[in-house]
Structure 1
Amino acid sequence: MNANLNSIRAKLEIRPGRLFIGGQWLDWDGARFDQINPNDNQIIGTFAEAGQRGVDLAVAAARHAFDDGPWPTLPAQDRKRILQPIIERIYELEAELATLQTLDNGMPYSFSRHSRASGKSCADILDHHAGWCDKITGETFPRHSSSSNLQYLTYRDPVGVVGAILAWNVPLNMFAIKVGPALASGCTVVLKPSEYTNLAVTRLVEIFAESDLPPGVVNFVTGGAETGAALAGHPGVDKVTFTGSAAVGERIVSVSGANMKRLSLELGGKSAGIVFPEARSVASAATTMMGLCSTFLSGQVCTTPSRALVHRSIFDEFVHHASEQVKQVRFGDPFDPATTSAPIISRAQVERIRNLIDSGIEQGARLAFGGEECDDIPGGGNWIAPALFLDVDPGMRIAREEFFGPVLCAIPFDSEEEAIRLANDSEYGLAGCIFTTDIAQGMRVARSIRTGAIGINGYASVANAPMGGVKRSGLGREGGWASIDAFTEIKTVAINLDG
């Protein structure tokens, strides 16, 4: 048992989880569930399983706030003035939020506090979207025909009640990416965090609850699959925004047709990182790609490049530097500055990753290093040693299915055309990266790969640029104007100037 974790838990005085509906905190009288800390598999808190009843109450509150409340029609300046103190409060509490996020999913505190997954980043994202409040505009159109004197113009109306279902890996950022543009656009929200990570999001909702936001604009339910399904399929919800697995995304698509819900879905990925001989540094490319799989969230990020496509002439050099990188990995107490990596989120996910690793070995791939469970870490927890597969056939499961864990598959190629073909040979298309100093080559390859985002010699998602996938990686985009577009509907108004 980790004494430091228990000490931090005690100081925070974690209370039984409640629901926030219609501006009020509700002590839930229904079913509850335990949240387990992945660092030591100890219970960290108990939370309400809202289920259909809780979701019905939350959607009714959001529906009332949208249909009858002031938020959708509030002047843009007033909406922004309400949001700005909330953002400033999040900046003030960023250290506490980082602590809660680390308790949630085991992310090393150094990353939770200082990376793009931090409380500061959460506030930055909300601040960016709040800036759109008074910049959401329509268009006017020139007279089209002499047969009538009609003036056409468009407005952007908020889409309505939004069901926001968050992933567990970066809950602070997930909250901001979904709630920020929804509120800036004039929507109301019913928010559900992952059942694995409720602490940080609960604290964010408490900050919103203490603000001047009208009742029912933000509502908060907790729970597992039953609650998520109730929210995704609810007839009172106009839009669902979800980040998570492709399998769950497909189920959301299947139930959304009943009332033609609008959807924003960021789903899985099997991203490719392509390393050409023209790369500035093979060592840097190998360290970057292996590091994304082995440190921070240990590969539990949908944009992580889990397929390394490496030119045959530099393949051995790449493998050498990848093996050197993992020597720097340190597991353990997430509040210890020496810890580099997060545990796997659950025992079920450990079993899934191990099953995929075993399938790779059975199908003939060679495990160069790693892949074993690490059961000697003080405090226990869910740990898998970072792994690199060689001799990988593109048809193997390990080359096609998402690990969402610390595993990289290295595949050699001989030509640019082959690299493009291998990168596109996937049912996913979320992200990717290219390492080359030949900018013409980089642009040529980037344009040829079917993916929602790709970086040349570096990549990171930011609040003011769109992010999302193609193929099985999702629908829609999040970030910048694309987010506002996703939470608004275009209304066309025609005015007869002759009558």
Structure 2
Amino acid sequence: MPIKCINYLTNVRYFMRNGVVCTHCAVRHVVHPNPTPDQDSYGSKFMPLSLSLIRDELKLQPGRLFIDGKWHDWEGDRFDQIHPSTNEVMASFAQAGVRGANQAVAAARRAFDEGPWPKMRAHDRKRMLQPIVERIYAAEKEVAQLQTLDNGIPFTFSRNSRVSPKAAADIFDHFLGWIDKINGETYPQFSSASNMQYMTFREPAGVVAAILPYNGPVMTFAMKVAPALACGCTVVVKPSEFTNLAALKLADIIAQSDLPPGVFNIVTGGAETGMALSSHPGVDKVTFTGSPTVGEQITIASVSNMKRLSLELGGKSAALVFPDTESVAANATTLMGLCSTFLSGQVCSTPTRAVVHKSIMDEFLHHAAEQVKQVRFGDPFDPATTSAPIISKRQKERILGYIDIGRKEGAELKFGGGAPGGELANGNWIEPALFANVRNDMTIAREEIFGPVLSVIPFETEEEAIRIANDSAFGLAGCVYTSNVKRAFRVARAIRSGSIGVNGYASVPNAPMGGVKRSGVGREGGWATIEAFTELKTVNFNLDG
């Protein structure tokens, strides 16, 4: 009979290979029917966590490329995608490289220059794209499973959060609604010197290379592909080399539509493939979400034909917690939770600098420590698992290196920062870390760690808090926690950042999101995205001619 996951000891799960169906989870996995009390959560009596049964049940196939309206088996190099929870191989994918990128761009270029797509009437384009929304909804469970097998995000979050397939379907629905509303303007005649009438038109930007990150492959696929297609662009998508499964499933959903060949294409591969797209003379625009270092490389590569760029890059966002906040406990729980649960701090907008007033510091640290007690590692398909592993061994070692640097520079490590053993020893897990008494000139306060590390920086005055928040190379997001409306408005306007939340923060598809300084160029969300995927053309008529 089906049984439920067993919660015992510290709630780290131990799974036997008995093929029992878990009634809490979306797919078959294994549970321990009779755990013994003396088994230590990280001890040697635990068998290593494995996702092989789930992988095999989903019948994952070698990845293909979708170019010019057809799926292609790749005759060339391939690479394995490794699951970060266990470092097991999930599937192999095509290393498209320069050759694959050239083929995809050529198809997209033909579809834009010679095909009907850019010139299609708004009604027809919308009708052709609209079924994609319902197809994503229909496949949302499978897409969520694949996203969990991509990056280890707990299935509960993969299916029910802002990075879920349902959220992606809503993003498509939002941008498809803009198709028959993309308009220009007319301008009053400026002087009597000439009888000229000026007007503007928004035309599709051209061939778009959409390069996705690993942390939210489903959501970012939608945020880039939906507006590009809505505006009449043609698209070549490259997922992160760490997360190909969900993106290829979404590509399959789009492939079922009646889009003209070459309008949508997807290639897989590593850095070589991404740079081949970024530097390709046939690409008119690059939209990229990822690290500032790669963003700089894309910027340099795009110069040859002055590509249009939308770059959402890193962040070192500050959350300012004032003594008049309504709940220090809620603020501490939220900020520590953003670093310790969900994607374990692997989100560019996460506030990783908590700038806390000295008078409430002890209370803040206490509640942050209490929050971490709720963190559970383990099988990402277990509903009790709260947190994702780190995406790769290399990134895990990088984060542990930052934790060592924080100690050496004098920050006080209150808890965490280690790597659990036992059944989790084969995966890329890091216990959430909190540093107190951090100075803003310390490395852990300056550089983006992209992991489960929160740095708490004390302040005394509002001016000092603003100065700390702005003393950063980044400017993506941030938060202000206060019950004083005047202060909230004043501080939010004073912080130099693309987005600021007051007593909370969230991103939605119809509001712009993006950064300043090293956090990027351009905005994604709402009309700002439509502007980003179109070129403004001015036409003037001589009414005397």
What TM-score, normalized by structure 1, do the two folds share? 0.99
Aligned to 1:23: 69
Q: Distance in 1 between matches of 2:536 and 2:383?
A: 49
Q: 1:34-433 residue pairs with structure 2 within 5 A?
A: 34-378=80-424, 380-433=426-479
- Contact 1:195–1:222 (CA under 8 A) maintained in structure 2: yes
CA shift at 1:339, angstroms? 0.3
- Contact 2:312–2:519 (CA under 8 A) maintained in structure 1: yes
- Residue deviations 1:178-231, cap 9 Å, x none? 001100100000000000000000000001111111110010000001111111
Matched letter for residue 88 of structure 1: E
CA shift at 1:9, angstroms? 1.3
Q: Distance in 2 between matches of 1:379 and 1:398?
A: 26
Q: Distance in 2 between matches of 1:409 and 1:442?
A: 22
Matched letter for residue 176 of structure 1: A
Structure 2: runs of 5 or more not aligned: 1-13, 18-28, 30-50
- Residue deviations 1:311-333, cap 9 Å, x none? 00000100000000000000000
Which of the residues 460, 477, 487 maps onto 2:523?
477
- Contact 2:85–2:424 (CA under 8 A) maintained in structure 1: no
Alignment length (residue pairs) = 499
Q: Distance in 2 between matches of 1:426 and 1:351?
A: 24
Q: Distance in 2 between matches of 1:189 and 1:112?
A: 25
- Contact 1:59–1:236 (CA under 8 A) maintained in structure 2: yes
Structure 1: runs of 5 or more not aligned: none
Q: Distance in 2 between matches of 1:488 and 1:117?
A: 26
Return structure 1 stretches of 4+ with deviation > 4 angstroms: none
SS in 1 for 2:237: strand
CA shift at 1:145, angstroms? 1.3
Which of the residues 496, 508, 528 maps onto 1:462?
508
- Residue deviations 1:372-405, cap 9 Å, x none? 1112244731110000001212111101011100
- Residue deviations 1:343-372, cap 9 Å, x none? 000000001101111111111111010001
Aligned to 2:10: none
Matched letter for residue 234 of structure 2: T
SS in 2 for 1:328: coil
Q: Distance in 1 between matches of 2:99 and 2:215?
A: 27
Matched letter for residue 141 of structure 1: Y
- Contact 1:32–1:49 (CA under 8 A) maintained in structure 2: yes
Report the more deviating stretch, 327-336 or 359-368.
359-368
- Residue deviations 1:110-168, cap 9 Å, x none? 00011111110000001100111000000000111111111100100000000000000
Matched letter for residue 103 of structure 2: L
Q: Distance in 1 between matches of 2:260 and 2:54?
A: 34
Which of the residues 486, 490, 504 maps onto 1:444?
490
Matched letter for residue 439 of structure 1: V
- Contact 2:275–2:301 (CA under 8 A) maintained in structure 1: no
Q: Distance in 1 between matches of 2:151 and 2:167?
A: 17
Q: Distance in 1 between matches of 2:176 and 2:280?
A: 27
- Contact 2:345–2:450 (CA under 8 A) maintained in structure 1: yes
Q: Distance in 2 between matches of 1:169 and 1:133?
A: 29
SS in 2 for 1:258: helix
CA shift at 1:86, angstroms? 1.0
- Residue deviations 1:428-477, cap 9 Å, x none? 00000111110110110000000000100111000000000000000000
- Contact 1:39–1:379 (CA under 8 A) maintained in structure 2: no
SS in 2 for 1:179: helix
SS in 2 for 1:14: coil
Matched letter for residue 48 of structure 1: A
Judged with a 3 Å threshold, the aligned counterparts in structure 2 of structure 1 residues 32 and 95 are, in CA distance, closer, same or farther, namely same
Q: Distance in 2 between matches of 1:73 and 1:468?
A: 30
Q: Distance in 1 between matches of 2:291 and 2:527?
A: 25
Q: CA RMSD in A?
A: 0.9
Matched letter for residue 91 of structure 1: Y
CA shift at 1:12, angstroms? 1.4
Q: Distance in 1 between matches of 2:447 and 2:341?
A: 21
Aligned to 2:540: 494
SS in 2 for 1:307: strand
Q: Distance in 1 between matches of 2:411 and 2:324?
A: 28
- Residue deviations 1:249-283, cap 9 Å, x none? 01111111110000000000000011001101000
CA shift at 1:10, angstroms? 1.4
- Contact 2:288–2:311 (CA under 8 A) maintained in structure 1: yes
- Contact 2:475–2:517 (CA under 8 A) maintained in structure 1: yes
